């Protein structure tokens, strides 16, 4: 057991050294979770517990090569006379290729959105609360929340601590949708709090958004027992609340966080890998999908793909802005 502990500590040290060496090669939110104890454990699991298994949003993890234990050396300070090393050509080439792919994605999606609107126009869902509040989205959303909070349409109402309605800008162009509240959300009454919520906040900041610029909610408004996947009858009862939220918000783009949210919203069984690489539509609104922040905490290697996803999302949102804005 001692040998296993030493080997584990050696792996942890190598990973943390890699993170420190590569800190300048990516945005802060992309790497800063790598030294968290719950991501790279520094002790053996307690009471025989196993570490959290990754969700079935499978993606290949980057290999970690562990060599013989290095000889400790004193930390060196950078020489101010020496110029900072430049990024290698492959990184630059990869970024250039991404930008070309992003531009192509945005152009194709905008064209598809226009064709969809012309050939299959979607009549916006009429929301009585908007009329009742003279088009004031904030007042309409507050009134809808008051209606939804005491909901007892399904059995989840019997086990919840409180309803988790949603938070953010009621006039947001971008809406982020998860699958259901977890334990911390159930206790605080707000979606995406705790470690995964903090990471989502960093992701938003990386593309120039704050939580007040977007709207964040879930398909279900109540926590399922043991955080299990939403059941069809629960979605059937809760989706009307989401539709009314979206009718008030009238977003330009929707982003589904995680496989379950995307599959449930889009009524599909496609894998997240396939869902991520194309655009979809929900009531005429373009929908993109990416990894759930909780999955990124368990699998930091997926952050690179998420960074590409949210940059596409931000570019698409800008491209869909009305002319003159």
| Domain presence at residue 48 | no
Helix intervals (H) in the chain:
2-21, 28-31, 89-119, 128-132, 137-148, 183-188, 194-206, 232-249, 259-266, 272-276, 293-298, 303-319
Per the structure, the count of domains in the chain is 1
Pick the more confident residue, 112 or 33.
112
Q: Is there a domain that residue 123 lies in?
A: yes
CATH assignment at residue 293: 3.40.470.10
Mean pLDDT of the chain: 81
Give the model's pLDDT for residue 310.
97
In a domain, 171, yes or no: yes
Residue 114 lies in a domain: yes
Give 281-318 pLDDT, tens digit per residue. 998 899 999 999 999 999 999 999 999 999 999 999 99
Indicate whether 45 pLDDT > 50. no
Residue 235 in tokens:
């979605």
Domain that holds residue 311: 92-319
Rounded to two decimals, the pTM is 0.73
Q: What is the pLDDT of residues 60-81, one digit of tens each?
A: 434 333 334 444 444 444 454 5
What is the bridge-based pairing of β-strands 215-218 and 280-282?
unpaired
Q: Which residue has the tokens 């970024």?
A: 95
pLDDT of residue 15: 60
Domain contains 35: no
Can you tell me the mean pLDDT for 221-244?
A: 94
Residue 135 lies in a domain: yes
Residue where the block lists tokens 């005429």:
284
Mean pLDDT of 97-121: 92
DSSP result, 310-321: HHHHHHHHHHTS
- 247 token code pair: 């009718």
Query: 130-170: per-residue pLDDT in tens?
Result: 999 999 999 999 999 999 999 999 999 999 999 999 999 99
- The most confident of the ranges 85-89, 117-121, 201-205 is 201-205
Give residue 117's pLDDT band: very low, low, confident or very high (50, 70, 90): confident
Comparing 118 with 43, which gets the higher pLDDT?
118
Residue 53 lies in a domain: no
Domain-embedded: residue 60: no
């Amino acid at each position: 057991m001692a040998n296993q502990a030493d080997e584990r500590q050696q792996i942890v040290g190598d990973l943390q050294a890699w993170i420190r060496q590569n800190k300048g090669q990516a945005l802060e939110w992309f790497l800063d979770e790598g030294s968290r104890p719950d991501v790279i454990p520094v002790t053996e699991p307690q009471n025989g517990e196993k570490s959290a298994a990754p969700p079935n949003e499978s993606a290949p993890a980057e290999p970690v090569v562990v060599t013989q234990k290095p000889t400790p050396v004193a930390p060196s300070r950078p020489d101010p006379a020496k110029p900072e090393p430049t990024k290698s050509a492959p990184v630059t080439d990869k970024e250039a290729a991404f930008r070309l792919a992003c531009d192509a994605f945005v152009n194709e999606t905008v064209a598809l959105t226009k064709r969809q609107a012309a050939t299959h126009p979607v009549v916006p869902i009429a929301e009585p609360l908007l009329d009742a509040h003279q088009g004031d989205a904030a007042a309409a959303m507050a009134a809808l929340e008051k209606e939804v909070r005491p909901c007892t349409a399904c059995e989840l109402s019997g086990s919840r601590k409180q309803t988790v309605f949603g938070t953010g800008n009621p006039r947001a162009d971008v809406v982020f949708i998860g699958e259901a509240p977890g334990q911390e959300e159930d206790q605080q009454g707000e979606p995406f709090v705790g470690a995964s919520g903090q990471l989502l906040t960093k992701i938003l900041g990386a593309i120039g958004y704050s939580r007040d610029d977007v709207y964040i909610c879930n398909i279900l408004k109540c926590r399922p027992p043991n955080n299990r996947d939403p059941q069809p009858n629960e979605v059937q009862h809760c989706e009307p609340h989401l539709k009314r939220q979206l009718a008030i918000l009238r977003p330009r783009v929707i982003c589904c966080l995680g496989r379950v949210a995307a599959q449930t919203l889009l009524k599909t069984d496609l894998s997240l890998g396939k869902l991520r690489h194309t655009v979809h539509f929900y009531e005429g609104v373009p929908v993109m999908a990416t990894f759930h922040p909780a999955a990124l905490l368990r699998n930091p290697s997926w952050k690179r793909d998420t960074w590409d996803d949210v940059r596409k999302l931000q570019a698409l949102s800008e491209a869909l802005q009305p002319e003159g804005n």
